[in-house]
Structure 1
């Protein structure tokens, strides 16, 4: 057990002992001072935090401080009634010096503090906590979806996603706990009134019956001590309730409350000058205290003029030196280097000028950072080294249009609406919302562009909302997955092999260049990526090549051997989940494909009659359409020798159909065949 846990346990046990054991006045004075300092410490802490979760222990701390304050109230009651009204120097000072020995002033001050705490601060904080807890819980599904969207687009990594999910859960728990903890303060304010009444009545009874004081002396001793005790306990209670209100009304920020207050309230010198001028004008009204108005107005006007003098316009750009100007002019006169014009970027993102603010970090854009994260996501999911993504604006595009290009050719594109959110009705919500109808560019789903004000309502209804940068990065990520095989070149294969050689140098030396070149390995990696199989487990791939490289050099055969050794990865990627429909190839179809397959100089080819092809295509299409209606993705299983042949045939009508062989399925995997692909 940690020392902090032991100290906390001892502290709570000590509070319980205060309730049970009688305290000497000197110890009681020390505990009262500790109570005041603790409440002040808590309030100052709430002023310096940037967001509520930085002080997540506050709800539990409120319970402990309330218990501590109530235990002191009980001890003070015992001292006042049992010690002739002497409850220590602190209470005596509050009863005589602070309120000037005037009972009426003390009672009124006590009641005002209780009223402020109970009616204004505590009730307001309770309402804010209740609303914040409800809205936080209602917004949790939408926030979770937003995190998943950022994770899928590569804007964040898995660790960041886990932290953000944890923060959402902690935030909901915090505001729920604050909703309940505010009831402690409310009850404390109520019990304070009860305690002061009990102390006054009890003190008068003790003074008149047991001490035999006259009524004026009993009132002077016991009522004065009771009022002092009430003020001593309610001032820390007021500080604690104020701290609660500060936390629950504090919005997330990158700075403390004091810094934000200075920036947002005192940063405008015009406001100070206007206020100072108004105070000067008020000096002309008869009866107003002119000296005070002059002093305050002078301070405001002087501060406003000083702040205005500090605000300077941004200096213009520095003039270009004359030598530099000549150098630039000479550079322009040089013959154009046409070699730069021949370069073709592997991956480009072109966009209209309306998307520029999403990329410009000085304008708050984070699209560039998200796209950079896509490279990391591709390394994690696919095992490839993604080339740098060239980003450029294109005046020929529409304002909010973008297009994705691979090797200089456009492969995808779309259009977004800045300052809006894309709302997708993925759960079949019946209630509709108003917006601009569109088609989600990545998966072709019907969607709506809605305003920021509509986002919270849409998420509460069950819509999935995505901001424009996430729309672009999601689309880009899916395009990269679909065309990953086009982005793997020999240079990247060399980099992958060099990285592997640092871990398994003997394996790499055996395979490259003795058995295979980088080009040979590239062919196999491209075949794997073409069918959406990640190459992250490069060691297993190279070990398979080392094992079968002496048997064959045919890339198709070697790819099949590699796939069989990646059975665990393939099974996990394509055959797990309730939305998978497993289809089997009829034995007659397998036999037909085997008979019609021939090995030629150009490679292995399968030639079927048109009627046979149409029969297989028709049956496959019907089965896939049926599974799509059921919300399932189809996976076809066949014999290892038939798998590559059938895949080449069927991708004419179903390029997205995953075709696996029985050798690529883990032995422990139990499969349920949904349908059989036959010749009709």
Structure 2
């Protein structure tokens, strides 16, 4: 029974939300067509004022414009509701205005008599001032901000999409987050475009208010004098006061909603709402409060000035400034106490050397100059730690094992903007980052030159330039890939993680990998390791795969292949056949992973456009490797030069640089070429699935 009632309640709430829009439209149409009694007009005017206040409060407490994405539609419906009320109230004023000041309801009477003291001249002036404030100041300013925001948002849309794609390709974000960010960018463009159009309704509403007031006064004079035999003065006072009351009732909510529109489009998106931003930024610096209090105190001492008002406010600001100054001193002392305690502890421990002074080398380290410290400090808004955590997670998902934790330290020996990436204490990469600026990377084909510090992308060596924040959108529109300093460091680290994955995999990681797999297939692990293959030999095979950036996610296939081939190779070795077991096992595993390796280089099921070897060069290389295991210097230079030319040809035609060779040449050529041409992949014929079509686009050795 309770479940049925809950379900009924959910359905009723859902239907109520669906009917909210049609009911509002029916209300608007009814007010324009049907005559309304004064009591109902009072309720509707009160509802209109409360709706305007609610809209302003929601706008004040939003933290970014998209939190109130329904605002353009709400603005349109609120404007229509107000215009419909004008029509309904005009009908009542002109029909029953001669009956007395409360003929159109108590709300209009209160605004026409109490708020302006029954003086229609004062009321007329107040009404005109409100219209001027609404039309010329607030509405015009909000409309201009919305127009400029829509233009810049639409201009920056392609660049923002490219930045999202760059983060996705670099592994900094996942597909789900990329989809969410694309949706948010699209919604932002639509929001500012809608606000640009909705602001025109508000301006039109202000003009309509003036026209309605003039028409009501003239119509009231004609009706009062001609139809109800009132004197001109009595008709003018009665109908003018009712018209002014009606206008004020409509213009005050209009002014509130226009202010809400200005708040929504003029705010800067942060983690604080508008009220928190104003308080935290206006009253952040006690020096400002002290200077303001001093100026007010001097003005309050001038004879003839309102001394009490100036001096009391000066005293209040001085007291507030003293409180802020005291709080800042307490925060500084609280930060210094842990540092002093840590220093005292360090001094006490330095008295005698012990095993605690022996520190093991970190597998993976990042050292930064002092200007890059804010990038790795959460309290200063640094995002690099979060990006590195995302990188490790993405690496584990793509490659197949969890890399070591990145230990980050500052290094005063580095230049302020430099950083170093260390592998077991040895530098494997270094670069420069500029916090507060953006790196505009030229992916090729961009001719526009940007002012800034010319450099190269540390990860891929592409030409780039560090530009100021103001040039970010211009660079994106021009075709540059624009990333911030944290992304530059994270992308460089991600690139080196993949390149040195084999060195990061050790016995401990392999043992953890086997334990993880053992939860799903415990029998296979028990039968294979260490009964069939030792941990050290398995480590060599896995490192061999990782050195050529082949993922080891498919551990089931790897272990089953090893279980099949290890006994056969051991029997051949026992029979006196000289074999390199690790190389043979690696080749067998690569064949078993052939489909995955082919997909890595050529996604999908399309044609594989590869580089081939000339038949004569193939025979020469086979003979050289079989006899001595190495290439002569002249032959090595020839192969290297022609391989470089073939890579360039492949890149120009948009194809991966992949060389396909016979199985016996693959390992030696890959080991020789990958140090000089890291972008070149070397596959054997047996690693390509039978159902994949292969086309040789360029041949090495044909010109010899």
Q: Which TM-score applies when normalising by structure 2?
A: 0.85
Equivalent residue number for residue 345 of structure 1: 362
Contact 1:564 1:664 in 2 (8 A): yes
Equivalent residue number for residue 55 of structure 1: 68
- Alignment deviations for residues 244-294 of structure 1 (CA, whole Å, 9 cap, x no partner): 001111112222222222222234444444434433433454543444444
Name which of 620, 626, 634 aligns with 2:643: 620
Name which of 38, 42, 45 aligns with 2:51: 38
1:617/1:32 Cα in 2 relative to 1: closer, same or farther (>3 Å)? same
Name which of 495, 500, 505 aligns with 2:512: 495
Query: SS where residue 410 of structure 1 aligns?
Result: strand
Name which of 7, 12, 29 aligns with 1:16: 29
C-alpha RMSD over aligned residues = 3.4
1:278/1:416 Cα in 2 relative to 1: closer, same or farther (>3 Å)? closer
Query: Unmatched 5+ residue regions in structure 2?
Result: 1-10, 571-580
1:235-250 alignment, distance < 5 Å: 235-250=252-267
- Alignment deviations for residues 63-107 of structure 1 (CA, whole Å, 9 cap, x no partner): 111121122122222222334463222112212222222222222
Is 1:556 paired with 2:569? no
1:607/1:417 Cα in 2 relative to 1: closer, same or farther (>3 Å)? closer
Cα deviation for residue 427 of structure 1 reads 4.2
Cα deviation for residue 445 of structure 1 reads 2.2
Is 1:74 paired with 2:114? no
Equivalent residue number for residue 583 of structure 1: 611
Contact 1:580 1:634 in 2 (8 A): no
Distance (Å, rounded) in 2 between the aligned partners of 1:636 and 1:91: 86
1:328/1:182 Cα in 2 relative to 1: closer, same or farther (>3 Å)? closer
Name which of 539, 547, 553 aligns with 1:530: 547
Query: SS where residue 633 of structure 1 aligns?
Result: coil
Stretch moving more, 72-81 or 502-511: 502-511
Equivalent residue number for residue 573 of structure 2: none
Name which of 679, 696, 704 aligns with 1:656: 679
Contact 1:564 1:663 in 2 (8 A): yes
Stretch moving more, 140-149 or 51-60: 140-149
Query: SS where residue 447 of structure 1 aligns?
Result: strand
Contact 1:426 1:464 in 2 (8 A): yes
Equivalent residue number for residue 431 of structure 1: 448
Distance (Å, rounded) in 2 between the aligned partners of 1:530 and 1:589: 26
1:481/1:78 Cα in 2 relative to 1: closer, same or farther (>3 Å)? same
Distance (Å, rounded) in 2 between the aligned partners of 1:448 and 1:594: 47
Equivalent residue number for residue 208 of structure 1: 225
Distance (Å, rounded) in 2 between the aligned partners of 1:165 and 1:65: 31
Equivalent residue number for residue 373 of structure 1: 390
Equivalent residue number for residue 7 of structure 2: none
1:159-558 alignment, distance < 5 Å: 159-308=176-325, 311-313=328-330, 314-315=332-333, 317-318=336-337, 331-337=349-355, 340=358, 343-552=360-569, 554-558=581-585
Distance (Å, rounded) in 1 between the aligned partners of 2:688 and 2:23: 59
Distance (Å, rounded) in 2 between the aligned partners of 1:617 and 1:298: 82
Distance (Å, rounded) in 2 between the aligned partners of 1:442 and 1:157: 20
Name which of 693, 698, 701 aligns with 1:675: 698
Cα deviation for residue 666 of structure 1 reads 5.5
Query: SS where residue 112 of structure 1 aligns?
Result: helix
- Alignment deviations for residues 589-609 of structure 1 (CA, whole Å, 9 cap, x no partner): 5566667765x9xxxx85677
Distance (Å, rounded) in 2 between the aligned partners of 1:287 and 1:330: 68
Distance (Å, rounded) in 1 between the aligned partners of 2:551 and 2:338: 53
Distance (Å, rounded) in 1 between the aligned partners of 2:441 and 2:249: 58
Contact 1:43 1:243 in 2 (8 A): yes
Query: SS where residue 469 of structure 1 aligns?
Result: helix
Distance (Å, rounded) in 2 between the aligned partners of 1:306 and 1:399: 36
Is 1:633 paired with 2:661? no
1:21/1:534 Cα in 2 relative to 1: closer, same or farther (>3 Å)? farther
Query: Unmatched 5+ residue regions in structure 1?
Result: none
Stretch moving more, 124-133 or 9-18: 9-18
Cα deviation for residue 182 of structure 1 reads 0.9
The alignment covers a number of residue pairs equal to: 672
1:513/1:187 Cα in 2 relative to 1: closer, same or farther (>3 Å)? same
Equivalent residue number for residue 105 of structure 1: 122
Distance (Å, rounded) in 1 between the aligned partners of 2:339 and 2:112: 75
Name which of 594, 599, 614 aligns with 1:572: 599
1:62/1:419 Cα in 2 relative to 1: closer, same or farther (>3 Å)? closer
Cα deviation for residue 177 of structure 1 reads 1.4
Query: SS where residue 358 of structure 2 aligns?
Result: helix
Distance (Å, rounded) in 2 between the aligned partners of 1:648 and 1:306: 69
Query: SS where residue 404 of structure 1 aligns?
Result: strand
Distance (Å, rounded) in 2 between the aligned partners of 1:429 and 1:21: 64
Query: SS where residue 503 of structure 1 aligns?
Result: coil
